[in-house]
Chains A and B, each alone.
Chain A
């Protein structure tokens, strides 16, 4: 470890737009959103030619804090600190990295917990149902505001990968390359089912009150259950066996009751508890719904290649062998559709037993690929 290097400190910023009707954000549902805030962070410096900007797109529960720390005392760094930072695969000494919190979230950007300017009260379920494309439309405003005309790359895993695909389709002239990781062009019925059960768990929480819960009495049981369920889908049978086995947590023998016995139970409970401390139940509704509605092919009568036809970017598509939430076949479908459009595409299924979470954990394999791809993009070697 290099003790002489300064810890990377990042500053959260806010970008507000849509103060009047004309500037409001038009949404897929037909409504317009006024007074929009996007929380974002930037690391590195924009090159004089403006050609080194990399937009990082986060997943369901992520935020703008992609790397580094806000204060030297912060216990944990940003969510993708292994991949992003000085000397890391997405090297902030070379690239100007931008990450913004998605629309509908609860980590600084406008979402259901924000105040509705029309009523002066929280939106809650009055917040319009948003789509992945709406998230990208909002990000486009931010990128324009930052004076960036072309992104070297858009990079994201899971829901972040969906946004990367949307970017490549919606603003092809602005996207030189895209790296969709562990993602899909169309949320599968299995994933829709998991999202539904998660939301149902929240609805059954007596605190939920159709989304109008009090800030000090939130549906934390329901949200924790939703998170525990979802968390299982991010792991794999192998990784759970390796990490927990059938280990007992607190006692040496079975309790012969229904309290936690197993290590895996404690782990899930811990994940659920930690999640409710930082996440809003209504945001969980909106963001999972945005993923449910994500279906690129549907726009072109089920023809994914045609849906991707506007894209001009070079692509690096990555999946992970044990990811059963966004399995390799779904990445291959994207790759085939891109090839039909005669785009430059590379694809690798990385061998991993971490399940869907691999995109956050397999830095040793993912890192060099992403780093080499970006370097070649920047140096025009492609």
Chain B
């Protein structure tokens, strides 16, 4: 499964989660196609954040509101709970401080939908074990030295980080391969990626 295929599966899952008429922040929104789709299908009030100037021009062309921004910086343009949903698709592993970004996401969003690449996926483990070198798979098609993925982790790593940050995993949607069942049963081993629905843990009374 290529990164692009996973991303499309991801977005289908995300689109199904988003409720109509809500306020949505898409971090790393690219050319704004996805927000456009959400706007048309679910009448969401969307805002994108994008780092690439050409992509921003495409968003404007698509009629999408977009802010030039870097996800290594705090989301200081948004107040606590400003958005109903915050989307981060396949990008967490590329930022400098994934933990800080996660904390920001659950701060500004009442719900967060974060999808991650699973480095614990069996083909990755197998390649590392057999060749003793960093895996280059369909999902992660880079050399270790030129990869934009500077913070790869596993599904279990992500769950553990959420626990540490006081973030509740509301639901998990393992992104399957041809074999859905094993991915659902043991995502850390059999799913190339996983979509997490998250929220900040509420203070106990």
Residues of A with Cβ closer than 8 Å to B? Answer: 314, 316, 332, 335-336, 339-340, 344-351, 365, 368-369, 372-373, 376, 381-382
Please tell me if the beta carbons of A348 and B65 are within 8 angstroms of each other in the complex.
no
**Which of A332, A351, A382 contacts B53 (CB under 8 A)?**
A351
Supply 29 A–B pairs (Cβ within 8 Å), ascending by A: A316-B60, A332-B77, A335-B67, A335-B77, A336-B76, A339-B47, A339-B67, A340-B79, A345-B65, A346-B59, A346-B66, A346-B67, A347-B67, A347-B68, A348-B56, A348-B57, A348-B66, A349-B53, A351-B53, A365-B53, A365-B57, A368-B57, A369-B57, A369-B60, A372-B60, A372-B61, A373-B60, A376-B61, A382-B63
Please tell me if the beta carbons of B68 and A372 are within 8 angstroms of each other in the complex.
no
Q: Which of B64, B68, B76, B77 has the most CB of A within 10 A?
A: B68
- Extra A-B contacts (14), CB below 8 Å, given A369-B56, A369-B60: A335-B77, A346-B59, A346-B66, A346-B67, A348-B53, A348-B57, A348-B60, A349-B68, A351-B53, A372-B61, A376-B61, A376-B63, A381-B63, A382-B63
Distance in Å from the Cβ of A344 to the closest Cβ of chain B? 5
Q: Flag B49-78 by CB within 8 Å of A: 1 or 0 each.
A: 000010011011101111110000000111
Complex: A347 Cα to B59 Cα, angstroms:
11
User: Which residues does chain B contribute within 8 Å of A340, judged by CB atoms?
Assistant: 79
Q: Which residue of chain A is the closest to B32 with respect to CB atoms?
A: A346
Please tell me if the beta carbons of B57 and A372 are within 8 angstroms of each other in the complex.
yes
Distance in Å from the Cβ of B86 to the closest Cβ of chain A? 14
User: Which residues does chain B contribute within 8 Å of A344, judged by CB atoms?
Assistant: 65
User: Which residues does chain A contribute within 8 Å of B67, judged by CB atoms?
Assistant: 335, 339, 345-347
Please tell me if the beta carbons of A339 and B63 are within 8 angstroms of each other in the complex.
no
Distance in Å from the Cβ of A345 to the closest Cβ of chain B? 6
Residues of B with Cβ closer than 8 Å to A? Answer: 47, 53, 56-57, 59-61, 63-68, 76-79, 82
Complex: A120 Cα to B12 Cα, angstroms:
74
Please tell me if the beta carbons of A346 and B53 are within 8 angstroms of each other in the complex.
no
User: Which residues does chain B contribute within 8 Å of A316, judged by CB atoms?
Assistant: 60
Distance in Å from the Cβ of A343 to the closest Cβ of chain B? 9
Q: Which residue of chain A is the closest to B55 with respect to CB atoms?
A: A348
Distance in Å from the Cβ of A379 to the closest Cβ of chain B? 9
Distance in Å from the Cβ of B9 to the closest Cβ of chain A? 29
User: Which residues does chain B contribute within 8 Å of A368, judged by CB atoms?
Assistant: 57, 61
Complex: A234 Cα to B205 Cα, angstroms:
58
Complex: A372 Cα to B82 Cα, angstroms:
27
> Given A346-B67, A348-B56, are A339 and B61 neighbors across the interface (CB < 8 Å)?
no
Complex: A340 Cα to B47 Cα, angstroms:
13
Please tell me if the beta carbons of B78 and A339 are within 8 angstroms of each other in the complex.
yes
Distance in Å from the Cβ of A326 to the closest Cβ of chain B? 16
Complex: A169 Cα to B56 Cα, angstroms:
26
Distance in Å from the Cβ of B52 to the closest Cβ of chain A? 10
Complex: A359 Cα to B129 Cα, angstroms:
56
Complex: A172 Cα to B122 Cα, angstroms:
58
Distance in Å from the Cβ of A346 to the closest Cβ of chain B? 5
Distance in Å from the Cβ of A351 to the closest Cβ of chain B? 6
Q: Which of A332, A346, A368, A376 has the most CB of B within 10 A?
A: A346
User: Which residues does chain A contribute within 8 Å of B57, judged by CB atoms?
Assistant: 348, 365, 368-369, 372
Q: Which residue of chain A is the closest to B64 with respect to CB atoms?
A: A346
Distance in Å from the Cβ of B176 to the closest Cβ of chain A? 36
Distance in Å from the Cβ of B95 to the closest Cβ of chain A? 19
Please tell me if the beta carbons of A339 and B56 are within 8 angstroms of each other in the complex.
no
User: Which residues does chain A contribute within 8 Å of B76, judged by CB atoms?
Assistant: 336
User: Which residues does chain A contribute within 8 Å of B56, judged by CB atoms?
Assistant: 346, 348, 369
Complex: A365 Cα to B79 Cα, angstroms:
31
User: Which residues does chain A contribute within 8 Å of B66, judged by CB atoms?
Assistant: 346-348
Distance in Å from the Cβ of A36 to the closest Cβ of chain B? 37
User: Which residues does chain B contribute within 8 Å of A350, judged by CB atoms?
Assistant: 53
Q: Which of B60, B61, B66, B82 has the most CB of A within 10 A?
A: B60
Q: Which residue of chain B is the closest to A331 with respect to CB atoms?
A: B68
Distance in Å from the Cβ of A76 to the closest Cβ of chain B? 29
Q: Which residue of chain A is the closest to B78 with respect to CB atoms?
A: A339
Closest 7 interchain pairs by CB? A372-B61, A381-B63, A376-B63, A348-B56, A348-B68, A336-B77, A347-B67
User: Which residues does chain B contribute within 8 Å of A372, judged by CB atoms?
Assistant: 57, 60-61
